[in-house]
Structure 1
């Protein structure tokens, strides 16, 4: 927890309301997201029990598995869920736009789950379905492995910093607001959203009662499991020969599961409205464009001949490359958030990586004649009260002038002298407004979105023996679909 977030939590207790820790929204919120609330059977690894799914608040669809330990019913559930998700995804794979000489889909799907546990469920369920056979023994419907490949795609993008293709609601809200409770309590969606109401203390207390606010999944309440769920499942299991009794038992089970999912369904859409109350940051558009690129690439790959499902495990080189991509994406995301948002930049000011102050002197027309040709190199002096841990020669950037670089050339007490380059036009006279004026409040820091080259990794065929040597060419086998919970 950062110092400012800790302060915001204290202020939230005093004000009895969630406190903003950002000034803008740093995630994209689709006009038509698909909300997915999964439930899993307790005591069984990744055994789906039910799911509520839909793209509008008034039309939730309940899918359930009457006997979660029954393999056929589990994959029937997967087929039903697959038809919903694949149909939703296909709706975005129609309209394209021209970008940098290539075609890209104009929009992309967005999957919303209540919490990180929902992301884990999607990842594991995708892993257990994408490698299934559509022929031979234990054949599944063609939509099942396709669902698995899409769920794996969403889960992988959820790990990518700055991606909005799949969001956990508790994480997205906690990224923008601080409450007066612990991070563990913020993982409870009902308790978290209580801080946006009139009486957060009473609301958070009510959130601890599973009869009022059932868990948001994928785990269910133990009391509900023993008192309601298991009797309902057993009642259904005893009605094999009686279709009328089976229909009634299925209806009772459906009512019981709906009672667990509908409160969370309403909370999810409250969370969507809360996120939409913030204006998006300037770089959200860029990151959503990258998400659309990733979506377009995956659609094209699925449509290509001989495309294989994602491997169960990355090879050594693939894992290293993926980790490098994620690390660079995290650094870029942190920089973009700081440049978009003064509250995020304040964290860098506290650590001495940035400073803010008033321009007390400026030489906008200063020329550097030390080289063969004169160059425009204005000097500005910024007076700051922030703790400064940057030395002479450090390059800094201003959020309001991102195409311009400042270099610290002198430090005299609270005054920092900067030499500016770039972002002023090509003439020896700076364009109006391109150089900070005396009296202007500015912020400078080492936070930068400049390109970071990727790491140098050997080709797959040259994988060192210390990392397993060159992997064999991928050849899907029957064992690929076998999991510990199968």
Structure 2
């Protein structure tokens, strides 16, 4: 947890409500998201109890399993979930747009948009992954040899849920998102990260009801019970309240089982309706809370790089659509070594890209980077034009800045600056870092600037952080020059001897340099699956033809 986050949580406790942790929205919120609130049976992770799903907050689809231990009823639940989800997916599959050809790619079509699934919390997201894994291999009624066939759309639903759950592991993806993670990314509360997983408590801090502060509203959501002894705000799925399970749900299930065993159609329908009513009473508050969170997030302006990350999600959605239409088999239970390495490398690259883009989009996030010494913002004092040596001299201007920040940079450290309208960042290198004239030098061990009063006062103080709502101001106040940094620009100025107009700041301009790259490069190429080294399982053919190792011979010591 960063120092800025700790400070924000302390401010939330003092203010009695959550404080903004971002000035813009760093994730996409679709115009019509598909909200899914699942509920599972206590002690049976693979036995769904019910779900509320749909794109219309006023008319959700309610799915209930009146006896979760019955296989046929569970399959009927999966079929109902497929009937609610797959039409939404299909509505986006055929609306495409053409991407122009590039140097490395021919002209290609990509889906113009993709459906977004929103679940209450990270536990519900893991449950979506479980549903996908447990249904994508099921055999359907089209297979005459299937011992327990399922309706035809169920395996297709499992493959889509698996893809969405895998994509959710990519940092910055918005295909499948948990509402608690979205809200905690944009607001800081006065409770622990574990308590933030309760959606009702989290919303109590962010938007408390009239007459209550954040702490009181969160406590009411977590522990408040009505006259019947049930929670006013049930857990935000997929878990259920133990009191609800023991006092209400278990007797209702017993009545359903008794009526079903007796073959009494009328009493069985009454008992089933009773179970549906009880499950709906646990799902509806969470359903309303998810949509409340959607409204809060939509009120924030969208970050500049969100659309770029959503385009990557659209490419992912299009690729899975094409694999399904090509008749490829379901996703394997376990990835091979090359695929696993590719996924890990892709997620590491996405994390670094997200780390940089959020700071570039949000002054409040950049303030945390400045406080950590990973960036600095200052005013240009002077610009000295110099050129590189060689047959073709290139401009290498020296900028002298004063900044209240203390960048953790040695001479020759690479720095980066975002240029408006440019595809890539302008590169630079730090030449020197010294105390500004009139400020006494404070050095730590080894001659490095010490983390003393100047360093603490030089970070982005409360006056340096822009307001946490609305667009960032053109310039932020400065408490006073503390450090003088000399930076040499090394790129982003064109190919001529004279720098391109606007690529070199002028004295008086306020600029920001980061010590982290804005664009991430891919790692080294991985071998083909046929060339996998023996340390990672060997080639697939070798694994298939390998003779299994004989077990050890049993001895007398193996038996009691």
Per-residue deviation, 1:410: 3.1
User: Within 5 Å, which residues of 2 pair with 1:16-31?
Assistant: 16-31=16-31
Contact 1:360 1:382 in 2 (8 A): yes
Q: Which residue of 2 aligns with 1:59?
A: 59
Whether the 8 Å contact between 2:119 and 2:177 is mirrored in structure 1 is yes
2:365 corresponds in structure 1 to 344
Query: Aligned-pair distance for 1:450?
Result: 2.5
CA distance in 1, matches of 2:49, 2:539: 41
SS of 1:323's partner is helix
> Structure 1: how far apart are the matches of 2:297 and 2:76?
35
The residue number in structure 2 matching 1:109 is: 115
Provide closer, same or farther for how the CA distance between residues 472 and 211 of structure 1 changes in structure 2, counting only shifts above 3 A: farther
SS in 1 for 2:45: coil
Query: Residue 455 of structure 2 corresponds to which residue in structure 1?
Result: none
Spell out the pairing of 1:149-188 with structure 2 (5 A cutoff): 149-188=159-198
Q: Which stretch has the larger CA shift, 181-190 or 328-337? A: 328-337
1:38–1:217 CA contact under 8 A, matched in 2: yes
Please give the alpha-carbon distance, in whole angstroms, between the structure 1 residues aligned to 2:409 and 2:21: 25
Bigger shift: residues 41-50 or 412-421: 412-421
Report the alpha carbon displacement of residue 427 of structure 1 after superposing the two structures with TM: 4.6
What secondary structure does 2:44 align onto? coil
1:461 aligns with: 530
State which drifts further: 60-69 or 207-216: 207-216
Describe the superposition over 1:8-29 as per-residue Cα deviations: whole angstroms up to 9, x where unpaired. 0001111112111112111111
How far does residue 474 in structure 1 lie from its aligned partner after superposition? 12
- Cα distance in 1 between the residues matched to 2:501 and 2:237: 56
- How far, CA to CA, are the matches of 1:474 and 1:220 in structure 2? 44
Describe how 1:59-458 pairs up with structure 2 within 5 A. Answer: 59-100=59-100, 101-134=107-140, 135=143, 136-198=146-208, 199-208=213-222, 209=224, 211-240=231-260, 241-305=263-327, 307-363=328-384, 366-368=385-387, 370-400=389-419, 403-413=425-435, 414-458=483-527
What is the alpha-carbon distance in structure 2 between the residues aligned to residue 3 and residue 270 of structure 1? 29
Q: Deviations over 1:44-91 (max 9, x none)?
A: 132111000011211111101111111111011001101111111111
Aligned to 1:483: none
Contact 1:461 1:471 survives alignment (8 Å) = yes
Contact 1:321/1:455, CA 8 A, preserved across alignment = no
* Shift of residue 419, structure 1, vs aligned partner: 1.8
Per-residue CA deviations over 1:144-168 (Å, capped at 9, x if unaligned) read 0000000001100110111000000
Contact 1:338–1:447 at 8 Å: present in 2 too? no
Q: Deviations over 1:119-171 (max 9, x none)?
A: 11110110000001112221111100000000001100110111000000001
Question: Which SS does the other structure have where 2:296 is aligned?
Answer: helix
Partners of 1:463 and 1:469 within 8 A in 2: yes
The secondary structure found in structure 1 opposite 2:378 is strand
Kindly state the Cα deviation for residue 345 of structure 1 after the two structures are TM-superposed.
2.0
Q: Separation in 2 of the partners of 1:37 and 1:80?
A: 14
Matching residue of 1:481: none
Q: How far apart are the structure 2 equivalents of 1:336 and 1:170?
A: 21
Output the aligned Cα RMSD.
1.9
Whether the 8 Å contact between 2:50 and 2:62 is mirrored in structure 1 is yes
Q: Deviations over 1:212-234 (max 9, x none)?
A: 10011111000000111111111
* Separation of aligned partners in 2, 1:399 and 1:201: 40
Q: Which moved more, 1:325-334 or 1:176-185?
A: 325-334
Please, what TM-score do these two structures have when normalized by structure 1? Answer: 0.93
Counterpart CA distance in 2 for 1:161 and 1:434 is 32
Gaps of 5+ in 2: 101-106, 225-229, 436-482, 545-560
Unaligned runs of 5+ residues in structure 1 are 476-486
After TM superposition, give the deviation of residue 335 of structure 1 in Å.
1.3
Give the TM-score taking structure 2 as reference length: 0.81
Q: 1:469 to 1:12 in 2, by over 3 A?
A: same
Report the alpha carbon displacement of residue 257 of structure 1 after superposing the two structures with TM.
Answer: 0.6
- Asked if the contact 1:367/1:374 (under 8 Å) is kept, the reply is no
The structure with the larger Rg is 2
| 8 Å contact kept, 1:396–1:447 | yes
